[in-house]
Structure formats: C-alpha cells, structure tokens
Structure 1
Amino acid sequence: MLKSSLSPSSNELVISILDLVLSEGKPLDRAYSQHFSGLKLEPTEQGRITFVVGDILRRLNLYCYLSDVTPEEMARLGSRLLNVWHLFNELPLPKMQYSLQVDTADLASRIESAKAQPVLWDGCPDWLNQMGEAQMGDKWPAERAALNKPAKRFLRTNILKCTRDELANALRKEGVQTASVEGVDTALEVVSDSALFRTEAFKKGWFEQQDAGSQLVALALDAKPGMRVVDACAGAGGKTLSISAQMQGKGRLLAMDVEQWKLDNLKQRARRAGAHNVETRIIASSKTIKRLKLTADRVLLDVPCSGLGVLKRNPDAKWRDTPERLPVLVELQKHILQSYSRMVKVGGILVYATCSIMPEENRDQIDAFLAENKHFRFIEDETISPAETGFDGFYLAKLERISEE
C-alpha cells in the first residue's frame, strides 16, 4: 500500500501503461518492459508504479465507475481516474501537469452505490462472474474477492545450494525480511519492500521468485534422484528448476515446450541455479512425444489454461479475455492430456496441473480422461484456493499408469 502520492512523472507512466494495455491489448509484462526500458528509475519508485497499475487493473471496472471514465478513454481522461484512485485510497491528490478535477460529493455517492454491488466492488467483469457462479456455486464469492487482492511475493529456496534458513539469514543481512510459509517447506514470503534481484543471494542462485501454490504443484510430482522426469509444458521453467532440486540434480530431467525462446530462458536460469540435469527439447511435432512413449517415471503436464487462478498476478487478463476462449483451451488441454500421457511408463506418475480454479479445466478434464483411459488410476487431486491460502490458484491431479493400454 502506498503511503504517499505518486510523482507527476510516475502518474504519467501509470496512464501510459494502462492505455497500452487497455487500448492496444498489450500484455501487462510487455507494457512494463516497453515503458521501463531505458529509464533510470529507482527500484522503489518502479515498485510504486507497478503497485498502482496492478491495483487499478484488479478492480478496473470499479475505478472506471467511480471516475466515470471508460477504459478506452484512459489516454484522455486517465488523470481523473488516478485522482479518484488516490482519494479512494485516502491519499492526497497527486500533482500532474494536466489534471481533471473530481467532484468529491459525486465520488462519495458512487462509492456507496458500488458497495451495494459486490461484483463491481470486487472488480470482476460480468462474464467472469457468470462463469464463476456456474462452475463454483457458493464458493465463488470468496474466490472472487480473493482475486482482487495484491499478489504476495514468495520465494522458492534452491535446495541445491542452500537451506531455507540459510536463505532467510542471508537475505536478512541484505535488508530483506522474510517469513516461512506453513505447509510449503521450500517457500519464504517476502514481507519487506526490497529489491530482490540486486541481492547477492539471487546472483548466487539461492532462490527463484515463485508463488507458494506453484511450488506445491512441483512438489506433488515427488521426483526422486536418478529418475527420468519430463516437464512437458515447461515454459520458462519455474517448476522445472524446482523438480531438479527435488532430484538433487541427479537423473534426467527433460524440459519441453513448443516455444524455443522460453527454453532458451530456462537454460540461463538453470545455469544460475546449478540445475545441471536439465535438458531442453523443442516439441517440433507429435513425433517428439511418440519417441518418448512409456519412458518416464514422472511427467508433469502444466497445461495451457485460462489463468483464472492467477488474476492477482496477471490482472490485465480479466479485461483482455472473453468466455469464448475457454472452450478452445479445454479442447487443447484434452488433446495434450491424451497425447502426452503416453510418455508415462507403467508404475509411473502423471501430474496434470493448471493455474485455474475452474472445474471445467480441472477435475472435469481428469474424469473425462479416466473414463477413456482405464490404464490409468486416480490417486488424488487438489485445488489450491486463493481464498483459503492467500496463494495464487492452482489445480493438480496425480494419476498412475497401471498398464500399457
């Protein structure tokens, strides 16, 4: 939470970033990269800017309603929305070169009206609320409210290089305060406003920034030293590196993806982490998967999904996505689960995972798969709830192959 108003230049940056996301559909991380590149911002000021942008996007429809500004008007009327944001958060009005005034009486009236509309107050678009109610019923309001909160900062201890206590002590000496996370042995929560990536601990590869819920997904694989393990949708490799640490760097860990640039990033991260058993491979065609049939002790399928469990961290997705995208993703998930499960050998374990909390992408997919694939048996599953844990939202299901077919 900010304790003082943004500077004039920071306000202009906030408006420009929001306009790039809302008018041009630019993903938030790319909008940040475009605007911060070349600027000599102090880490604290960059953090303040990203906090305000994130908070506005998490409850965009609320702030648009309170300021009477549409997303399409951000470039022209964004100063009024920012003034409303400051007043709503009990901060002095910021100084800006061009600033549209706010009718405080009208704002007070709008705030009272918004409080009587829970969906609006939680910053939830109508399409998402309808989906949540249909799929999650009585559980949805608590999850909806949890998803409008700022994401906490979690670290994963790289146990290839240090223990969690050693990491916490090293960070403390560099001015970073952390707290252990109950139920996740590798996790620390960062509780101070600190520049993590300038620390010696980061340079030495002692930690990765990774949500505690994401760490639970990787830990569920229960990979052992000497195993043959496949992370088949590895992306940039956060879970891959966690799995390598579980394996103590021993055995073969194959990280696969359809995008080479992600695997290139993973190689760099693996070198810093000392994860020397990681091998990357591009999925060029279905033949790449077929060649690995019945070879893996463990397979992680962290499939493409709606991302509706991680909206705290990626709030722009609420305003770029539509309900029509979900059926396309569900079909893709079904295809990946059916095809990539062939890599699991008899007695091996498959973990299917998403960063969604919607049953259609999660347990419904598993039930449909098991109905058609009697050579797998269900072990357990878990939905990691943002409302119950404070983590991002994830789903994981563990299956065992009991026969070849």
Structure 2
Amino acid sequence: MIASDFYYLGSTMLNASLSPSSTELVINVLAMVLEEGKPLDRAYSHHFSGLKLAPSEQARITYVTGDLLRRLNFYCYLADISTDEIARMGSRLLNAWHMANELPIPKLQYTLAIEEDDFYQRLEAAKQQAALFDGCPEWLDTLGQEQLGDDWAKERAALAQAPKRYLRVNPLKTNSEDLAKRLAKEGVETREVPGVPSALEVISDAALFRTECFKQGLFEQQDAGSQHVAAAVGAEPGMRVIDACAGAGGKTLAIAAQMQGKGRLLAMDVEQWKLDNLKQRARRAGAHNVETRIIASSKTIKRLKLSADRVLLDVPCSGLGVLKRNPDAKWRDTPDRLPVLVELQREILQSYSRMVKVDGILIYATCSIMPQENRQQVDAFLAANPHFSFIDDETVSVADTGFDGFYLARMKRTAESA
C-alpha cells in the first residue's frame, strides 16, 4: 500500500470514539514517527500492511493521527506527558484527545486515566497560550515571529488545521465539468476552486486512487497552491522546458498539460526512484513529451547551458508551508536545518539558472512561507546576476487561501552574462 492510497476523512470531524484496536494503531504509528524518526506515510504503510481494515476505520485512524501531530504539544500538555513518552503513555494521550473532542474515552483493557478537573484546568490554560493551542513548537514559533512578524499568528493557526483535498484536472484527457460528472458517478463529490481553474476540491470521503477516473489518468491529486505555482511557469506548446527539481513530478505533469504534449519537457532530479515514479505517472496521464534525466554531476547542468525557454526550480526547502499536510516534520526538524537548506537553495539557483536561454524565464519556487528561503534568496541572486531581471513574485498564504503555503518568483534572462 502506498500513502496516496489511504482513505480520507477530509475535514469531517470524528463523531465516535476509536475502537481499542484502532487506538493502539494510532499509538504505534505515533511512536514510529516520533521515536524512530520515520516519515508519517512510511509509518502508515508499515502498520497498515497486511491488515484488513474497513475503509472508514482506516480513515478514522489517519484523521486522528494527523490531528494529534498537527497539535502534538497541545494534546501532550492536556495529557500531562512529554512527547517522548508516547510509546509508554499513549493511552493517556488518546484519552486527552477524545476528551478535547468531546468523545467518550476508548474502552482499552489497560489505560492511563486522566482526572477531569485537572484536564479542564489545563485546557483553559492552553487557550491562553496561542502558540501552544495551535500546536506549534517553540523553535518554529520563534522563527515564524522573526520572519513574518504580525502575520505569523494567522499562518500558525492555519497550519494547525486539517488539509483539504484537491485534484488537478488533466486537460490532456478531460475537462473539469466532465471529470466532476464522472467522479460523481463513482461516489466522489467535488466542487470548483475559485482562482485555480485546473483544480477541483473533493468534498466527500473517498478512496480516490481506486476510481476508474484515476486509473485512466483523468486527474492527479495535487494541492491547489501547488497547481498555482505550476501555472506560473506559463509553458506553451513547442517550448523547451526544464523542471530541474522534479521529484515525483506533480508540477512536471501540470506543465506537460500546458504544453499540450508538444515541445520538449525535461524532468530532472538527483534521485532516480523519483524519476521512475514520474515515468509511470506520465504514461498514465498521456504526457508523452516528458523526458527524465538524473543529475549525476555538475556536467549534466553545463550541457544544457542557455537551452531552455522556461526553467522551474522547485528547490529543496523547509516545507514550512505544508505542515498541515506533513505535520510530522515540525517534530523532526530543528532550526539548525534551515541555514543548510538556505545555502543549498543558493547553490542550486546560481548553478541551474545557467540553463535559461536569453529572453527565457526562470521560476524559483518553494513550499515555504519564510522570506529567508524566498524573496531574500531571489534578491541575493539578482544582486549577483544582473543579467537577470525581476518580473514578479507571490506568496501563497495558508491563512488567506486555505491551500498549502508556497512561494514563486519569476525572473527573465536579459543577456548571456553580465
């Protein structure tokens, strides 16, 4: 089972307690993530493998686990335990979660009870501590305040919410209206997303990746904010386009659709397994103009010097704009990681920009909302490279849009070099 195949509760609130067996599964997944440092999707795969869970129960488990991780320090505070005690005192944490959500306590054989008066005193105290109530670790709250000032509070609160579920319609095979009708016949309800014409929001609980629509390549699951970044590339049929940090290729496939399958789209990455996954997705989507190439050394970049009409650099970043979708990251990361990423971003921007031809467009993007990774990087690059000119930039706010948080900037090469 892959992470994308998990059933989904969306923003639906749980209306009944977890069963004892599901409670144990939540505790075990949390322990694997927090004590062993495993990514959440791998922890799900490990613990769900071989189990014959009903789709609704699997959805309940992932919903509760996600909510706990988005506000882990808040729920640990209510349970009066530390984050490194979950394997041993997980039942107490789950009891606190159920009490906070006004649900009956799960009927476990062995459980650590919570005294009600103490719980409600802690709940009232937590409401007076905004960062704690939003489930934000101290290091992240300090960073957010330093980077975003007064805007941080609304972003922090938005990152504590459950993510919505979005599809990107594949125009190589269908359109929004037809896809919505076909999905409805398979029991999947959707609605249009204002400002993002390629997107549909899924508003029902469904196993999307079991549908015939998915198997036929009519859509990809992709956040609306990510689709907005891909749209900014502005690729046209017949162009030569490079997605130089392609990963598994969500934005690559969106760009292929812009190009209507005409022209050359080169997807590059430093990890072959990601490109292998992209090849499979491209075949399903009918994106026949996608080529993949591993970045084996700096020579790979040099050979493509001044060759592309568009170069997208969706660089490695802190991921601090997508924490509601990847909530485990804020409990694994530390502030020491950010300077390393910033330097890597600078190196990629400087090196990979050589692939943009004169009058071509460079698009720099991150899934972060922190200026240190975003506009500050762009300003430093432009200061060192006067043969590029600034066109525009945008931060996709989590709070203002409900999407994941992203940044994009577009720059034009005006000469081969300064």
Scaled by the length of structure 1, the TM-score of the pair is: 0.99
Q: Superposed, which structure 2 residues align to 1:274-293 within 5 Å?
A: 274-293=286-305
Distance in 1 between residues matched to 2:268 and 2:305, nearest whole Å: 15
Post-superposition shift, 1:48? 1.0
Distance in 1 between residues matched to 2:128 and 2:167, nearest whole Å: 38
Equivalent position of 1:68 in the other structure: 80
Equivalent position of 1:326 in the other structure: 338
Distance in 2 between residues matched to 1:333 and 1:66, nearest whole Å: 39
Distance in 1 between residues matched to 2:338 and 2:88, nearest whole Å: 33
Post-superposition shift, 1:325? 0.3
SS of match in other structure, 1:245: helix
Post-superposition shift, 1:198? 1.0
Q: Superposed, which structure 2 residues align to 1:92-241 within 5 Å?
A: 92-241=104-253
| Aligned with residue 31 of structure 1, among 35, 43, 62 | 43
Distance in 2 between residues matched to 1:25 and 1:351, nearest whole Å: 33
Equivalent position of 2:55 in the other structure: 43
Equivalent position of 1:261 in the other structure: 273
SS of match in other structure, 2:291: strand
Post-superposition shift, 1:38? 1.6
Equivalent position of 2:322 in the other structure: 310
Contact 1:69 1:78 in 2 (8 A): no
**Counterpart amino acid of residue 15 in structure 1:** I
Alpha-carbon deviations, 1:291-333, whole Å to 9, x = none? 0000000000000000000000000111100000000000000
| Aligned with residue 350 of structure 1, among 357, 362, 367 | 362
SS of match in other structure, 2:147: helix
Equivalent position of 2:416 in the other structure: 404
Equivalent position of 1:273 in the other structure: 285
Contact 1:256 1:280 in 2 (8 A): yes
Equivalent position of 1:12 in the other structure: 24
SS of match in other structure, 1:98: coil
SS of match in other structure, 2:395: strand
Distance in 2 between residues matched to 1:300 and 1:333, nearest whole Å: 13
**Counterpart amino acid of residue 308 in structure 1:** L
Post-superposition shift, 1:75? 1.3
Distance in 1 between residues matched to 2:173 and 2:132, nearest whole Å: 46
Equivalent position of 2:101 in the other structure: 89
Distance in 2 between residues matched to 1:71 and 1:136, nearest whole Å: 27
Post-superposition shift, 1:94? 1.3
SS of match in other structure, 1:21: helix
| Aligned with residue 386 of structure 2, among 343, 358, 374 | 374
**Counterpart amino acid of residue 177 in structure 1:** E
SS of match in other structure, 1:335: helix
Between the aligned residues of both structures, percent identity stands at: 73
| Aligned with residue 262 of structure 2, among 241, 250, 263 | 250
Distance in 1 between residues matched to 2:221 and 2:107, nearest whole Å: 34
Distance in 1 between residues matched to 2:360 and 2:16, nearest whole Å: 55
Alpha-carbon deviations, 1:2-53, whole Å to 9, x = none? 1111111111100000000111111111111111112122222211111101
Contact 1:229 1:253 in 2 (8 A): yes
Contact 1:378 1:399 in 2 (8 A): yes
Distance in 1 between residues matched to 2:50 and 2:257, nearest whole Å: 35
**Counterpart amino acid of residue 256 in structure 2:** S
Q: Unpaired segments of 5 or more residues in structure 2? A: 1-12
Alpha-carbon deviations, 1:87-141, whole Å to 9, x = none? 1001111122221111111100000000010010010001001101011001000
Alpha-carbon deviations, 1:178-198, whole Å to 9, x = none? 110000000001011111111
SS of match in other structure, 2:200: strand
Equivalent position of 1:395 in the other structure: 407
The RMSD of aligned alpha carbons is 0.7
Distance in 1 between residues matched to 2:95 and 2:113, nearest whole Å: 8
Distance in 2 between residues matched to 1:386 and 1:227, nearest whole Å: 32
Equivalent position of 2:309 in the other structure: 297
Post-superposition shift, 1:62? 0.3
Alpha-carbon deviations, 1:211-244, whole Å to 9, x = none? 0000000000000011100000000000000000
**Counterpart amino acid of residue 396 in structure 2:** I
**Counterpart amino acid of residue 275 in structure 1:** A
**Counterpart amino acid of residue 138 in structure 1:** D
Post-superposition shift, 1:353? 0.1
**Counterpart amino acid of residue 65 in structure 2:** V
**Counterpart amino acid of residue 137 in structure 2:** P
Contact 1:124 1:144 in 2 (8 A): yes
**Counterpart amino acid of residue 45 in structure 1:** E
**Counterpart amino acid of residue 63 in structure 1:** Y
